[in-house]
Amino acid sequence: PVANPPSDVIAAIATAPGRGGIGVVRLSGPNLSALAAGFCGREPQARLAQFARFRDGSGGLIDEGLLLYFPAPHSFTGEDVIELQGHGGPVVMQMLLARCLELGARLAQPGEFTRRAFLNGKLDLAQAESVADLIEASTAAAARSAVRSLTGSFSKEVHALCERLIDLRMLVEATLDFPDEDVDFLIEAKAFERIEVVATELRAILDRARQGSLLRNGLHVVLVGQPNVGKSSLLNRLAGEERAIVTDIAGTTRDVLRETIQIEGIPLHITDTAGLRDTTDEVEKIGIARTWQEIERADVVVRLVDVRAGLTAADADIDVRLPAGVERITVFNKVDLADRAPERVETRSDGKRGVSLYLSAKAGQGVDLLRAELLRVAGWHRHGEDVILARERHLIALREALARVEAALEARQALELMAEELRLAQEAINSLTGEFTPDDLLGVIFSRFCIGK
């Protein structure tokens, strides 16, 4: 018999669905020792793996395994936490979870464990987000970056910036409060230089965050060009597999094909498209319309040309119709047939800078030039450990903080305005770690977690 646990206990299966050697049901809430005692038959010891028999309401054995009891506040959530480690079958786990609900727990919402950890001051918001990032990381580089954030290295930098802003605000506001003091006082205190330093640091952090955002989201690359220039061959070459259909008949790739590859840990989402040419074929027309939709969403468009034919009027037309802000690389393919060496050439036409690459998709010569070029246009230049696995939310806050600090520098003739800009900069910085984050935003952030986290 188990004493009635208090109402606000949450429970969830913490391990991934499916079958495994072990499976874990996790509970968090106040006063869980009685519930734990019910499972292991005696007063549970803190932070010690204990043998337990998990029984249903009528005493029937569900499973046997280990019980871990972490009394508050020394637990992940800061509340009492229990982990029930049983055998990792979906049915066993469901039965064990059902028993916990019977004993008064309720099913946890997605991210609710981490949310409680945040609310109890165990993690700040940036760290809480990195829990999800670590679990979702799709490359080793992303995982390493997430675990650094989790252990607080990003948060530490954010706090340091925040301290500096607070000092500066105190200086400026003191100047405002004492009418005798004026700008000279701030000049003497090197306030403007110090704001400049904050701006420089913010720019550096933003750059590292942009690198992290690339690592997280990757780059959308679209291959376009006339039929038969070698788009599908190039995709296959980049992907290292026979994924797209390669044929000698012009117009084979009528629909779009997608492939995600990695270059230096950056995910590249590459789309092969129908050849962009004038046609009367209805099916091909649909493919071409789709191609333009893909181009609208691209970060980089790789325009392929058969080196023997050179740029055609239709290729020039593609260029004119490309949306602003999309990077463009021109590839002259099939150099093996033209007896040319692979090469990278910088071009300039109508005042627009461009890059042309000469390569062979089929033979593979020069394809490394394309890989390097894709990373270059993506702005990838960090190979060190200091990238920040930023979310869109972080980029927005960092950009906002930088804009405010820059505005503060421009407002040196109007100290009240300067004080206000510094206050807003600090607010933006604080939102990174959750110090000024409204509840509705917290709801959005934690609802993206999966259950059991």
Q: Binding site: what residues are annotated?
A: 26, 83, 122, 228-233, 247-253, 272-275, 453
Helices (H), ranges, 222-312? 231-239, 282-296
Q: Out of 12, 246, 288, 355, which residue is the one contacting ligand GDP (CB under 6 A)?
A: 246
Q: Out of 334, 382, 391, 404, which residue is the one contacting ligand GDP (CB under 6 A)?
A: 334
Residue type for position 370: L
Q: Are 96 and 116 in contact (CB under 8 A)?
A: no
273 interacts with ligand GDP by CB under 6 A:
no
How many Å apart are CA 390 and CA 397, to the nearest integer? 11
Residue 180 backbone class (left: φ over 0; alpha: ψ -120 to 50; beta: rest): alpha
Q: How long is the chain?
A: 453
Reduced to 3 states, what is the DSSP secondary structure of residue 42? Answer: coil
What is the number of other CB atoms lying within 10 angstroms of the CB of residue 68? 21
Structure token pair of residue 420: 């206000």
Contact range with ligand GDP by CB under 6 A, out of 28-36, 108-116, 224-232, 321-329: 224-232
CA of 158: how far to CAs of 65, 93, 126, 131, 152, in Å? 43, 41, 10, 18, 10
Q: How far is the CB of 252 from Zn ion (least distance, A)?
A: 5
CA of 34: how far to CAs of 1, 78, 279, 387, 445, in Å? 10, 18, 75, 45, 33
Residue 97 vs 276, nearer CB to ligand GDP: 276
Residue 223 vs 419, nearer CB to ligand GDP: 223
Site string for ligand GDP, 363-382 (x = CB under 6 A): x-------------------
Contact range with ligand GDP by CB under 6 A, out of 221-229, 338-346, 387-395, 396-404: 221-229
Long-range pairs of 432-438 with CB within 8 A, sequence gap ≥ 24: 432/125, 432/126, 432/154, 432/155, 432/158, 432/394, 432/397, 432/398, 433/124, 433/125, 433/126, 433/155, 433/158, 433/159, 434/118, 434/124, 434/125, 434/126, 434/128, 435/124, 437/125
Q: Out of 130, 149, 253, 273, which residue is the one contacting Zn ion (CB under 5 A)?
A: 253
Residue type for position 161: L
The residue with its CB nearest to ligand GDP is: 230
Q: Are 93 and 23 in contact (CB under 8 A)?
A: yes
333 interacts with Zn ion by CB under 5 A:
no
Size of the site for ligand GDP (CB under 6 A): 22
Contact range with ligand GDP by CB under 6 A, out of 98-106, 113-121, 248-256, 436-444: 248-256
360 interacts with ligand GDP by CB under 6 A:
yes
| Residues 222-241 close enough to bind Zn ion by CB under 5 A | 231-232
Residue 33 vs 252, nearer CB to ligand GDP: 252
Q: How far is the CB of 262 from ligand GDP (least distance, A)?
A: 22
Contact range with Zn ion by CB under 5 A, out of 17-25, 189-197, 250-258, 426-434: 250-258
307 interacts with ligand GDP by CB under 6 A:
no
Q: How far is the CB of 304 from ligand GDP (least distance, A)?
A: 6
340 interacts with ligand GDP by CB under 6 A:
no
Closest of 278, 272, 279, 277 to residue 301, by C-alpha: 272
Q: Pick what 261 binds: Zn ion, ligand GDP, none; C-beta below 5 to 8 Å, kind-dependent.
A: none
Contact range with ligand GDP by CB under 6 A, out of 116-124, 166-174, 246-254, 339-347: 246-254
Q: How far is the CB of 208 from ligand GDP (least distance, A)?
A: 38
Q: Transcribe 198-240 into DSSP letters.
A: HHHHHHHHHHHHHHHHHHHH-EEEEEEESTTSSHHHHHHHHHT
Residue type for position 88: G
Residues that bind Zn ion (CB under 5 A): 231-232, 253
Residues that bind ligand GDP (CB under 6 A): 225, 227-233, 246-248, 252-253, 275, 333-334, 336-337, 360-363
